[in-house]
Structures are given as structure tokens and as C-alpha cells.
Structure 1
Amino acid sequence: MPSMLLLALLAAAAPLFARASEGIWGIAPCELCLWQRWPYWAAAALALAAALLPRGRRLLGGLAVLAVLGSGLVAGFHIGVEQGWWPSPLPGCQAPRALGGTGVEDMLRSLPAMPSKPCDAPTYLIPGLPLSMAAMNLLYALALAGLGLIFLRKGTTA
């Protein structure tokens, strides 16, 4: 399989796996979890463009690697939030507020538009393995970026 096409597939696999984990295992994502997915989609599009446009392969492939590292950067930040090293600035990362008001209408208005999970509550996919989903994403992003750099350095065909 051509290298940039493989990079595109592996980049798209990360957010697809995360979405599947929601349905299969009932894992609720927090706002930072959702932010980690967007750079993978950008990387998949850039790597696919690199596979289709050989003249722009190095530039587009390099941008795809940077996008993957962007997801890793968000994952690293997320790990810091999970560990309590710093708070998240995102309002959706805070624990849901207690419902207030006097009637049902007041309670419904106080609910967030989308159910949220606090970003400082790590999600562990594999019981007994002390790696949160954010930590696994960081490791995956670093490995995928390394693979992408190997592909670019070797200059394999797109």
C-alpha cells in the first residue's frame, strides 16, 4: 500500500476508533477528547492529498505529520488536566453544575446543550492498564508521526 495512503488510513482510524468506543463500550467523551479528533481528520485529508498529488507530497505529508502531532499536543494537555497539573480553560470540561430552579422548565434550561463529562476524569479503556484514553492517544500520535516522518524520509512512492 502506498505510504501516504496508509498514513491517511491510520490517521482516520484514531477518531473512528474513539467514536466506536463510545457506542461499543459506552464511553462518554469530554470536550478535550473531542478536540483530539479534529487534527486526525485534517491529517487524513492532507495525507490523502499527498497520495493523490505527488508534486506536493513532501509538503502535504509534512503538514499531515504536524496535524497528527497537533492531536498529540492536545492529548498531552489533556493528560495534564487529568493529573490535576493544570485546569482546563474549556467550559465544557467542568463538572456539570447542580440543577437549580424551581420548576421543570428552569431545570431544563440549566442543562448543558450536550451531555458532558469532566475532562479531569480519565477514561481507562483496558482494565488494570494505567493508561487513559488521552495517554493512549498521545502514544499513538507520536508513533504515527514517527511513521509519517519515516515515510517522508525514505521517499517511498505515493
Structure 2
Amino acid sequence: MTTLSQSLEDPRFPAILLALASAGVLGAALFFQFVLGYQPCILCLMQRWPYVAVLVFSIVTLLFRQWKGVGDALLVASGLALVACAGIAAYHVGVEQHWWAGTSSCGGSGPANSLEALRAQVMAAPVTRCDEVAWSLFGVSMAGYNVLISLGLAAFAFVSARIAYTRTPVSRTAL
């Protein structure tokens, strides 16, 4: 019978868990978008890319398991991608709460000089604004939940990388 710590010594196990979690988060985002009809803003779309990166890192970890140390490094890379995702999501929460302004892609741009320029701005503006909460549960928006999920997965990735790195050292003569 293996313990959780023994399972985490092989970077493939946490890579599988991170891939499943990332696929679940992306699946939920796509479900909200295509089934429930919640259109994402530009910040919502930006928050998806780190999960795609984690999926790629996990697949590479599984494919190149014979390369010692690659899985450990990719767990760290996954953790860093998830920290970046948490940062984007935290920024999005701040925009939703009107603590600061969003990016120029979030629905606002400079003043128009003419009626035609104003019309062009209105027509080019995104349908979904970043500063409006489209969905929330218990007062927490999707971006707020993404901060928590990303940080939790990042912590798991870093702890798993540390455990995998400190496992029985590889003989230097074998390399």
C-alpha cells in the first residue's frame, strides 16, 4: 500500500491530477460559455491560457518520463503558470469591484473626436464588459473562485515538485 507522499515522488501522478483539474476548470468555463450562455470578457479568456499551459506541461511530463528532472521542472512551471493565472484573476476581481480600471480591451477607450469615431468605438466594443460580474455564488464571482482554485493548484504543484525533487537522488554516474 502506497502513501500519498510515495505517490507524489513520481512527478507523473501530480501531473495527471493537475491535468485533470485544468481540464475540469476549462470544461466548466466552456460549459458556462456554450451551454449557459455566459459570454467571457477578455480577462476571462486570458485566465484560460495558464490552464492550457498546465495541460501541455502535464502531457510532456507523461511523454518524457524517462528524462530525469524534467517532470520536476514542469511541475514548477505548472505552479508558476497557475500563480500567473491567480494574478490575472485577482486583477479581474479588482476590475469587477471597481478598485481599478480594466485594460483598454475591457470595453473602454479614449474619447471620440467625431460621430463616426464614436460609432466605430461602440461597434468595436466587446459585448461583455470586464467590470460587470456575470455570475456569482455566495457573493464570489467566477474570477474570485479562479483565484482560489489557481492558488490551491499552484501550491499542490510546488509541494509535489519539492517532494519529487527530494526523492531518492539519481546516481550521477548513471546519467
TM-score by length of 1: 0.80
* 1:59 equivalent among 64, 70, 73: 73
- 1:94 and 1:108, CA in 2 relative to 1: closer, same or farther beyond 3 A? closer
Question: Which 4+ stretches in 1 moved above 3 angstroms?
Answer: 107-110
Distance 2:127 2:49 in 1: 18
* 1:111 equivalent among 86, 110, 123: 123
Q: Say whether the 8 Å CA contact 2:75–2:157 is kept in structure 1.
A: yes
Q: Say whether the 8 Å CA contact 1:31–1:92 is kept in structure 2.
A: yes
Q: Say whether the 8 Å CA contact 1:7–1:44 is kept in structure 2.
A: yes
What are the residue-to-residue correspondences of 1:118-129 with 2, within 5 Å? 118-126=129-137, 129=138
- Report deviation, 1:52: 2.5
- Report deviation, 1:92: 2.6
TM-score by length of 2: 0.73
Matched, 1:150 2:164: no
The residue type paired with residue 111 of structure 1 is M
* 1:92 equivalent among 105, 116, 122: 105
Partner of 1:39 in structure 2? 50
Matched, 1:8 2:19: yes
Q: Say whether the 8 Å CA contact 1:58–1:152 is kept in structure 2.
A: yes
Structure 2 gaps of 5+ residues are: 1-11, 110-114, 168-175
Q: Say whether the 8 Å CA contact 2:19–2:54 is kept in structure 1.
A: yes
Number of residue-to-residue matches in the alignment: 147
Structure 1 gaps of 5+ residues are: 102-106
